[in-house]
Amino acid sequence: MFDTIKEECGVFGIYEPTRTDVVQSTYFALYALQHRGQESCGIAVNENGIIRHFRENGLVPDIFTAERLEKLGQGNMAIGHVRYSTTGNINRANAQPLVIKHVKGPMALAHNGNLTNAYALRREYELRGAIFHGTSDTEVIAYTITENRLITGSIETAVEKAMEKLQGAYSLVLMSPQKLIAARDPHGFRPLCIGKTEEGAVIFASESCAFDSIGAEFVRDVRPGEIVVVENGEMRSIETHCGGKSAMCVFEYVYFARPDSVIEGASVHEARLRAGAFLALEHPVQADVVIGVPDSGLDAALGFSQQSGIPYGVGFIKNRYVGRSFIQPTQRMRENAVRIKLNAVRAVVEGKRVVMIDDSIVRGTTSARIVNLLREAGATEVHMRVSSPPFTNPCYFGTDIDSKDKLIACKMTTEEIAKHIGVDSLGYLSVNSVRQIAKNANCDFCDACFTGEYPVEPPAEMPKDKFEKMIPKK
């Protein structure tokens, strides 16, 4: 909500046995996945091998009007995408799904993640004459698949070969004239799961909440390294890249995913409750009420309350209409900006010792303002507890934790941060605990942003806007 880490994308794909309103299903599913990316969205539909698509900057319900959906028409396959860009450059050319024509016809591609060798691959293709329309990794993936499609007999084999070359995080959904394909990188950094309907549709989505929204059923997660091919209504797996050690982003549980999603067998909501409970154990405090910063701090606050016995309270009201863009306040109003979105409930905090739970601290500015709201509403003490460890390392696998100089935990000790944001005490969840929040999850985790232990070699350099600024001398 405020000054926090951003997920890059959500993906979706559907295969129906017959020509039907796959576009509408995609629309509602993207609506359910909207929290994974609010910058742009897109839908591509496949009707007898003809792929139509539309993508634009904006939110799903704003971009896809009834008229727009009708123009997309019907089909028996569709894929969709919601996107948050990691760069300031909100370029329409980067919106997805990417729809291209290559040697074997049209292909549509939706991608969540980040390649660690995108720059090197792009350079390689450029040196062979490739042209790029945007700056996203997705075009690089498209070239890699196309390159292999030239020398293989099927699109799925091309994907399989391409995965030998692609490094980093990618959860892909792609559509050829005849097939719907999902693929997940061998570490499984980003979630991707499989659903179905009673009528026989096969569905892929970044999170299981998308299945619920359209009345579909969760089947299982796509395995790290797995390629799932749907053709003529049949689903089959290619598992040549499976079997390595997985490294699911633990921050999906802490913040990114919707609490009603289940990822790798673990409930996101429960993971947050557990994070709160661990926090209570690791950083106990004498207080009168536990409150969460909406929306993602609420579950952990409840877990903290349950573990500690300190009553749970509703300390903040968030304006329901936040999310819509609104005008920038003038200087005079600026310092009140946080109040436009969030208000403290005086009746809950006045005269109380308050434990305030949030999922993370990035720069600290917003935390300071929120703490101030509580002080003004009469809280006598404010103890902040954070349901994840301090960020101290950039992420190369699909989030925008991209440089140390923005991260407050790289520059200050916990005590300094506590002072900076004006709390009486501050406690972070330990790395050891964060690894245990997703109880029973059938995967290992990437916690490199907290530990610096990267599952994959990070790129030597990883400039933002890397391709934008490449201006030759001549």
Which residues are known binding-site members for [4Fe-4S] cluster?
Answer: 249, 395, 446, 449
By CB under 8 A, name the one of 87, 178, 365, 392 that touches its own copies: 178
- Nearest distance in Å: CB 129, its own copies: 5
Inter-residue contact 227 to 179 (CB < 8 Å) = no
Phi, psi (degrees; rounded to nearest 5) at 445: -125, 155
- Identify which of residues 51 and 456 has a Cβ nearer to its own copies in the complex: 51
Distance CA 439, CA 191 (A): 16
- Identify which of residues 228 and 373 has a Cβ nearer to its own copies in the complex: 373
- Identify which of residues 68 and 353 has a Cβ nearer to its own copies in the complex: 68
Inter-residue contact 382 to 348 (CB < 8 Å) = no
Per CB under 8 A, 152 contacts its own copies:
no
Per CB under 8 A, 346 contacts its own copies:
yes
Distance CA 393, CA 327 (A): 33
Distance CA 407, CA 203 (A): 38
By CB under 8 A, what part of segment 57-96 binds its own copies?
59-62, 64-66, 69, 93
By CB under 8 A, name the one of 18, 237, 286, 325 that touches its own copies: 325
- Helix (H) / strand (E) element for 126: namely helix 118-126
Per CB under 8 A, 116 contacts its own copies:
no
Per CB under 8 A, 460 contacts its own copies:
no
- Nearest distance in Å: CB 52, its own copies: 9
Inter-residue contact 370 to 293 (CB < 8 Å) = yes
Indicate the SS3 state at residue 438. coil
By CB under 8 A, name the one of 4, 6, 19, 21 that touches its own copies: 21
By CB under 8 A, name the one of 17, 233, 317, 403 that touches its own copies: 317
By CB under 8 A, what part of segment 270-299 binds its own copies?
270, 295, 298-299
Closest by CA to 435, choosing from 423, 443, 427, 424, is 443
Q: Please name the amino acid found at residue 398.
A: G
- Residues flagged as binding site: 249, 296, 358-359, 395, 446, 449
Per CB under 8 A, 240 contacts its own copies:
no
- Nearest distance in Å: CB 316, its own copies: 8
- Identify which of residues 85 and 393 has a Cβ nearer to its own copies in the complex: 85
Distance CA 413, CA 139 (A): 41
Whether 9 is a known active-site residue: answer: yes
HSE of 450, CA atoms in CB hemisphere, 13 A: 21
Instruction: List helix spans (H) across 21-117.
Output: 22-32, 60-63, 66-72
By CB under 8 A, what part of segment 186-205 binds its own copies?
none
**Active site positions, annotated:** 9
